[in-house]
Amino acid sequence: MRITRLDAIEVLDSRGNPTVEAWLQLEDGSEGSAITPAGASTGANEAAELRDEDPTRYGGRGVQKAVEQVRGEMAGALVGKDPGDQSTLDLLLCELDGTPNKARLGANAILAVSIAYARACAHSLQVPLYRHLGGDDAVVLPVPCLNVINGGRHADNTVDFQEYKIVPHHATSFAESIRMGEEVFHALKKLLQAHGLSTGVGDEGGFAPNLHSNEQAIELILEAITAAGYRPGDDVSLALDPATSEMWHHGRYRFFKSNQSERTSAAMIDLWDDWLQRYPIVLLEDPLAENDWEGWAQITQQLGGQVELVGDDIFCTNPDLLQRGIREGVANAILIKPNQIGTVTETMECAAQAKAAGYGCYVSHRSGETEDTFIADLAVALGCGHIKTGSGCRGERTAKFNRLLRIEHELGERARFAGRAAFVR
């Protein structure tokens, strides 16, 4: 099926920054579109966004250059051609770019085209996107991990760690799980109000109060779980993304918000060990920094049998970095973010590589999100069992939840909910 049209425009993400929207048409009239998200705490080895760097527009963050790459060079190479399948299309885009990190054409432009093509092909075949990508076995709905308290770079408060998440895993369906999560979210809001704490939200929709300590965030969430009528650890557990690469300075971890202290890698591992003993935590994402490979190997050896240890910044959805991690015994799961690598095919190949090695896969949004719901379909296509896409509010976050609710309804009796078993230990 030949591509007959490829276009793009500059649109806005959830932080009001520009990003790329592309849309593509096939010769049978089938169309697909996609909008690329953007991260704030980004890994050093992520695929490169193409920004204009023009200080007179959007503070230099405009994406007109990336848009022109879609309209110009990419359209010139693709329009009138029949790529045949997703992997061929994505290979053409990578070869056209010609750089290791997609810096010439921009991963933000390439990914939008890649996803748009996947959607157009799904429409042409008259199948849902998750089935087009994952086949007939794509029936597992993920456990939503809701980011309910924000800190770090996602909020201007006194909390060092970036994401405190609730995990409503003791449910029979995604619909029941998201109901549980929202009930805890609203119970937490009432609890914060009762304590005279702010209920303003951060970039991902979680609350961002000034707290006495990083532990207080945990204690408030546990209180909210109980107030909502659930049992901490049995019905609803916790997951954390402290984003420690943001805390890494000259080989030590600096607590730059709460108490201005510093810790070694060994001390950080001891901190997480202590928290695992005291709190019902099922997942730790980026408990150590992206360059702390020795520390990662140690924490995996010491704690990997107790909790899912997810590598985000250290892996960047990159097969080469993941292979090093597998070889060196680093982490037991990987975060999957399509814009870290830049194409649908590379994203899915990285997930397949992780699964083959016994690693878990955890599909994720970005802090600069859009109304695009691609990751919801991706989570079902991969059967990964859990997803993070923000808190219980903000439309760009709930759009993913609503898409998953629709997928579950569409699957009917075939739908399966991953539950507690989704978390690697």
* pLDDT tens for the chain, residues 1 to 425: 999 999 999 999 999 999 999 999 999 999 999 999 998 767 778 999 999 999 999 999 999 999 999 999 999 999 999 999 999 999 999 999 999 999 999 999 999 999 999 999 999 999 999 999 999 999 999 999 999 999 877 667 788 899 999 999 999 999 999 999 999 999 999 999 999 999 998 889 999 999 998 999 999 999 999 999 999 999 999 999 999 999 998 899 998 766 668 999 999 999 999 999 999 999 999 999 999 999 999 999 999 999 999 999 999 999 999 999 999 999 999 999 999 999 999 999 999 999 999 999 999 999 999 999 999 999 999 999 999 999 999 999 999 999 999 999 999 999 999 999 999 87
Question: What is the CATH code for 134-421?
Answer: 3.20.20.120
Q: Is 367 annotated as a binding-site member?
A: yes
Nearest to 149, CA basis, from 243, 64, 217, 225: 217
- By CB atoms closer than 10 A (0-12, 13-18, 19+), residue 80 is exposed
Residue 312 annotated as binding? yes
* Phi, psi for 244 (deg, rounded to 5): -70, -15
Distance CA 402, CA 373 (A): 9
**Which residues of the chain does CATH 3.30.390.10 include?**
3-126
Residue 137 assigned as binding residue? no
pTM above 0.85, yes or no: yes
Residues of the chain with CATH 3.20.20.120: 134-421
165 is in an annotated binding site: no
Q: How confident is the model at residue 258, as a pLDDT?
A: 65
* Listed residue (315, 318, 321, 337) closest to 388, CA to CA: 337
The response to whether 102 counts as a known ligand-binding position is no
Q: Can you give the pLDDT at residue 228?
A: 98
Question: Which fold, 3-126?
Answer: Enolase-like; domain 1 (3.30.390)
**Is 176 annotated to bind ligand?**
no
Q: Is 131 known to sit in a ligand binding site?
A: no
**316, 9, 371, 246 alpha-carbon torsion, rounded to 10°:** 30
Check whether 132 is labelled as a binding-site residue. Answer: no
Count of positions (residues) in the chain: 425
Q: Is 364 annotated as a binding residue?
A: yes
The CA-based angle 220-238-267, given to 5 degrees, is: 90
Residue 201 and residue 397: Cα distance in Å, rounded?
13
Catalytic residues: 204, 337
Provide the pLDDT for residue 54.
Answer: 97
